[in-house]
Chains A and B, each alone.
Chain A
Amino acid sequence: MNIKEPIVSLNKVNFSYGQQSVLQDIDLSVFPGDFIGIIGPNGSGKTTLLKLISGILRPQSGNIQLFNQDISMISRKKLAKIISVVPQDSFVTYNYKVKEIVFMGRIPYINQWQGETISDYRISRNAMKKTDSFCHAEKGIHQISGGEMQRVYIARALAQSPKILMLDEFASHLDLNYKYEMIRILKDTLREEVNCIISVFHDLNLASFCANRLILLDKGKIEISGTPQQVINNENIKKVYRSKAHIIQHPELAIPQVIM
């Protein structure tokens, strides 16, 4: 595959809920190796954009392509083998065990008649080990903490063997050490397994840390997209977030950080 070919491309995408317009005129390309961070204030359409790319919502106009295929042409099952999504918050109705939850990530690959194979189990196990949730494998999902749950969801998303990994604020419940851990896992995953990662961030600093490209949304339009250095500066933050912020350079890495 030509390294310049985009994996995900959105072309003049518009989306509204009924009469309410949520996203206008979105143009976006994601290339192999990208870690895209979607940032913006509340109500700017971040989650909606994520839902459009993951196929939950259909745009009113414009088109979305995955690997050069129109997303509306891809069956839901096939889509599940390409994209997996880590939700921000999720309530599981029944107290499944952690290992059962992670195993559900294999559902798109399991043939109804033949059932699961040993590799399905191996993949699930590895996903748990990678996210350090293996020790909780036998526990019920209702019995673990918020942070442990988030790692379990990431494990499930990894078990789904996606080409595109999408996350909606993956670190809100995580302790500092786990934040580092998750960033490391995601970067490893990006290198070894998936083609790209797209994540919504509320935490600008985390976004700056993880992503190589940021998309700043403001009231449904892309205000600016580019590297963290290009996007996170006083001017943009002031304009979009309508508040004061101090941007400083990270002491060790060449990335901008916001301090209050």
Chain B
Amino acid sequence: MKMNQLKSISISMIKIVLVILFFSIINTSGFSQQNLFPVTLTDDSGADVTLNEAPERIISAAPSNTEIIFALGLEDKLVGKSEFCNFPEETKNIESIGKMSPLNLEKIVSLDPDLILSYGGFQLKDIPRLRELGFKVLVVQSESLQEMIQGMQLIATACGVPQKGSDLISRLQERINHITSNIKKLSHEKQPNVFVGSNFDTIYSPGAGTLFHELITLAGGQNIVGHLQGWAKINPELVAQKEPDIIIIPSGIMNPEEISKIKQDIITHPGWSHVPAIKHNRIYAVNEDLFYRAGPRLVDGLELLYEIFTGKK
């Protein structure tokens, strides 16, 4: 009798444990989901955005956010992108919502999104209307590397993949730290003077507060327009005066001919012949998307600058 009682008790106990195990296995994904939603986030426009469940249909109205979406592996939830979103290749399969500003409200509405990612800026004036019509809009406006990382975490949380976000961020942070620790070893004098200029008829160069400036500084360079604020229109005399060691040309999808033409213009620019960058031919064209878009490729840009500055390119 005692043996049978023991047996039935242990069998019941095993059943109970199995049942508990069973339910906990089923609920693992749902369980962690339940913890994540609903979530209320404060976006960069100061608005509180509440999401009740993970968004299935996402529209990204800026290339920076599109790249973040792809980096987080959420691209199959992307139903719309701005026409400037061109990285990675797969973006061409996603429907375009037109220009970044003004936002085409009709197109956005017709795609019936659960979440719209905006970069702020000129899109701010259309966002109240979208929110009025009942759409969830998350503004991610990043103007520094740190803000970009925070923005990435924000998007990851909003889309229900905070862990992926953290993973991505720690990998990026590693790469950044690698560069900044190397730079610490460089002395101040070894830091090259860097000049960034695009169109050479009217020269605009990125000053303090821009992403480009931050990356130059982090990569160990001295931005010759660092004393100016934002994107500044500068007088060519400044270049002659500051004598940069490196000249960077941010270019879009220019072909090699165009780029060599610009290089020629720089080399033959009146009054610049004594500039070290020109004398030693340290003029580099870079993909501007790596420096203008507040997305994960900023770190690619940082690494590229580091290689240029340390003479590895």
CB atoms of A and B under 8 A apart anywhere in the complex?
Answer: no
